[in-house]
Amino acid sequence: MSVLADTHPTLLDLAKRQDPDGKIARIVEMLGQTNEILEDMTWVEGNLITGHTSTVRTGLPSVTWRKMYGGVQPSKSKTAQVTDNTGMLEAYAEVDKALADLNGNTAEFRLSEDKSFIESMSQELAETLFYGNEGSEPEAFTGFSPRFNDSTASNGENIIKGGSSDTDNQSMWLVVWGPDTVHGIIPKGSNAGLQHRDLGEQTKQNADGSMFQVYRSHYRWDAGLTVRDWRYIVRIPNIEISALTADASGGAKLLELMDDAISQIPNLGAGRPVFYMSRKINSYLRKQMKAAVKNSTLTMEKNEFGRWVPTYDGIPLKKVDKLAANEALVV
């Protein structure tokens, strides 16, 4: 994990480089505690002020076996350019100055209030990473699900269905983060991650014209998502939550689905592979592992934040609460 963090910088890596005194890094660590996907993502500065244009290879050149004195026709690969946009996520936090000053530790009191805003922005970004759709919400960016929602599409082979025909469905995801596979983007010339500005003491006016003093903080996060190579993402949709069993005797057989997903990845060493799932699926996965007597494949490894994370075949298993339990069936 530490080697990959050096070559594929995470939000924590970028934040520490930008702010040596550690203030931003502290916020980033809090983000990782509330939403585990944010500590895995590789981030790349975009080549546009509103996003990033990537050149994606869509076809390989033809090659020929040549006989002596025979000729070979020239060929070339096929490429296409894809532009991904970024969105601006913002919030303001305000606390009454008199209330904040009561306990004699104004900074800590403000931080305790600001934590709720950090949590909210963390959850919103995580939800957008999976379900964001510029078609219905132009201000946001397009996430994973709209890109992997049709098993008959060109990337359909990386959609492994969980077998449900009901409505209480969730997805598991295998994502290999890296600058040449899948990564987050920030606008050209901007800063990485959640930006915090202490606006200090401000005068607040009520609707009736009365005024009082507040401390105000401003949070802003410019972020987007680029899928440079769709082969490094596998979606396992149509997992019926109510049908899951501890011994995999009914419902989705999670271990088999995960093995199939791993087999779809061309090269796990191309980046940082991570499985994402809800807490409910994570719970049943652990039970199915024990029932199948496959404890040898479930190990614990320490991540960049010093926390122990369960892994399956060396791939971290992370929980994302924003993975919905009522996804539409993927056909």
Amino acid at site 104: G
Q: Is residue 68 part of a domain?
A: no
Both structure tokens of 44: 């790349």
C-alpha 262/C-alpha 246 separation (Å) is: 22
Q: Is residue 65 part of a domain?
A: no
Amino acid at site 36: E
Both structure tokens of 264: 């779809």
Q: Is residue 14 part of a domain?
A: yes
C-alpha 235/C-alpha 257 separation (Å) is: 10
Read off the pLDDT of residues 96-152 as tens digits, 9 standing for 90 and up. Answer: 999 889 878 888 888 877 788 888 888 899 999 999 999 999 999 999 999 999 999
Whether the model clears a pTM of 0.85, i.e. scores above it, the answer is: no
- Report the chain's mean pLDDT, rounded to a whole number: 85
Rg value, the chain, Cα: 23
Amino acid at site 215: Y
Domain range enclosing 186: 2-57+79-319
How do beta strands 169-177 and 78-96 pair?
Answer: unpaired
Q: Is residue 140 part of a domain?
A: yes
C-alpha 141/C-alpha 55 separation (Å) is: 19
Read off the pLDDT of residues 229-254 as tens digits, 9 standing for 90 and up. Answer: 999 999 999 999 999 999 999 899 99
Read off the pLDDT of residues 68-97 as tens digits, 9 standing for 90 and up. Answer: 888 888 888 888 888 999 999 999 989 899
Main-chain dihedrals φ then ψ at residue 168, nearest 5 degrees: -95, 70
Q: Which residues contact 1 (CB under 8 A, 6 or more apart)?
A: 272, 301, 302, 303, 304, 316
Read off the pLDDT of residues 178-211 as tens digits, 9 standing for 90 and up. Answer: 999 999 999 998 887 888 899 999 999 999 999 9
Number of domains in the chain: 1
Both structure tokens of 132: 């964001």
Note whether 132 and 142 are within 8 A (CB): yes
Q: Is residue 207 part of a domain?
A: yes
Q: Is residue 291 part of a domain?
A: yes
Overall residue count recorded for the chain in this entry: 331
Among 226, 225, 251, CA closest to 236: 251
Q: Is residue 324 part of a domain?
A: no
Q: Is residue 327 part of a domain?
A: no
